[in-house]
Amino acid sequence: MKPPRFATPPPGGSRRAALALIAVTASAWLAPARAQGGGNPPELRIGFQKGSFNLALLKGLSLLDKHLPGTKVTWVEFPAGPQLLEALAVGSVDFGGVGDSPPVFAQAAGKDLFYVGAEPAKPDSSAILVKPDAPPKALADLKGKRVAAQKGSSAHFLLVQAVKKGGLQWADIQPIYLPPADARAAFERGAVDAWAIWDPYYAAAEVSGGVRVLATSRGLTNNNTFYLASRALTQREPVLRALFAALTETDTYVQGHRKESAQLFADFAGLGLATVHRVLERRQPSPVGPLTPTLVAEQQQVADAFAQLALIPKPIRVADIVWLPGQAVAVR
């Protein structure tokens, strides 16, 4: 079976078509997962972040009980993607979801992990924020400014692209590397001039007020979401198919039950409903499937951008750690 290709979602009046697309994708992966059956691991450890909407709802809806019967699932939360992938590389978790940049930094550091799946792009779900009355009015105005971002995160790449679009050099800004909670505190007390961040932290800052969007990632990055797995899990294709099917079924539920999904995510993440609804407004249908050649090429551009700025220790070839259905990954 060929991997599903993600299509651009139809315009506002065509939600039924979008739901149909997701339903087809889900059924395409659910059937093989069940047909191949057997061999479910006794335990599966899944890493997630506060912004991992599909994973968070998958946990809340307990859908893996149906897709992986007999498997004990342990959920481990991380503040951001780099920390999650560090845990994956050392064997503390088996599977997790991150943005575009963490896998690049992990591969460049020689970490043993693999891309196994992806969601469609979410170009409106991250942004560079400043205070309402702050001097910067355009990206060029970031020159000489202190900008907070989680190192090795999707926000890091957003900042790289913003600096480039603003006609600046990387040395023209002062990046301040902080995890999201610390970055928000630094931003609020004026210790940094701008903050590059993703949802739901971006939405929470908007809803609470006191911020102005200098730029979103639209036109700068696709803000892709990837799922990565341990080498051992790539040997269990039926389990990966079951995970894709469960995640896609979760997204189908989200698209059809927005109110209930918002409440479930708000309760899980400790966020206000207004914040969660803002996240959902920016979130397009997000079925999960293996990486397409287009996604691999986009991710290579991310890796090349970091390599050109010497922000990673060496150039990398993304395709070297991309798992595809039917592809054998060597056992160490």
Count the domains in the chain.
Answer: 2
- Which residue stretches of 132-212 are H helix? 154-165, 180-188, 201-208
Instruction: Name the residue range of residue 207's domain.
Output: 126-216
Cβ–Cβ contacts within 10 Å for residue 91, how many?
12
Q: What is the mean pLDDT of residues 68-89?
A: 95
| pTM, two decimal places | 0.86
Predicted confidence at residue 33, as pLDDT, reads: 40
Tens digits of per-residue pLDDT, 27-42? 444 444 443 434 789 9
Q: What is the mean pLDDT of residues 77-96?
A: 95
Q: What is the mean pLDDT of residues 288-297?
A: 95
Over pLDDT 90: what percentage of the chain? 80
- What CA–CA distances, in Å, run from 281 to 19, 127, 153? 16, 15, 22
Q: Which tokens is 34 given?
A: 């069940």
Q: Which of 313, 293, 289, 294 is nearest to 104 (CA)?
A: 313
- Max distance between CA atoms of the chain, in angstroms, equals 60
For residue 322, pLDDT beyond 70: yes
The CATH number of the domain where 65 resides is what?
3.40.190.10
Classify residue 4: in a domain, yes or no: no
Question: Do 104 and 159 lie in a common domain?
Answer: no
Question: Do 312 and 238 lie in a common domain?
Answer: yes
* Residue where a domain stops, chosen among 160, 188, 216: 216
* Residue 326: band (very low, low, confident or very high) from pLDDT cuts 50, 70, 90: confident
Question: Do 108 and 147 lie in a common domain?
Answer: no
For residue 247, pLDDT beyond 70: yes
Mean pLDDT of the chain: 88
Burial of 138 per CB tally in 10 Å (0-12, 13-18, 19+): exposed
For residue 8, pLDDT beyond 50: no
Amino acid letter for position 280: L
For residue 262, pLDDT beyond 90: yes
Name the one residue in this structure whose structure tokens are 């600046």: 168
Q: What is the mean pLDDT of residues 125-133?
A: 97
Classify residue 264: in a domain, yes or no: yes
Predicted confidence at residue 268, as pLDDT, reads: 87
Predicted confidence at residue 16, as pLDDT, reads: 40
Between 265 and 11, the higher pLDDT residue: 265
Question: Do 37 and 130 lie in a common domain?
Answer: no
Question: Do 240 and 110 lie in a common domain?
Answer: yes
Predicted confidence at residue 165, as pLDDT, reads: 97
Over pLDDT 70: what percentage of the chain? 88
For residue 182, pLDDT beyond 90: yes
- What CA–CA distances, in Å, run from 94 to 72, 232, 314? 13, 8, 26
* Residue 125: band (very low, low, confident or very high) from pLDDT cuts 50, 70, 90: very high
Between 2 and 194, the higher pLDDT residue: 194
* Residue where a domain stops, chosen among 154, 182, 216: 216
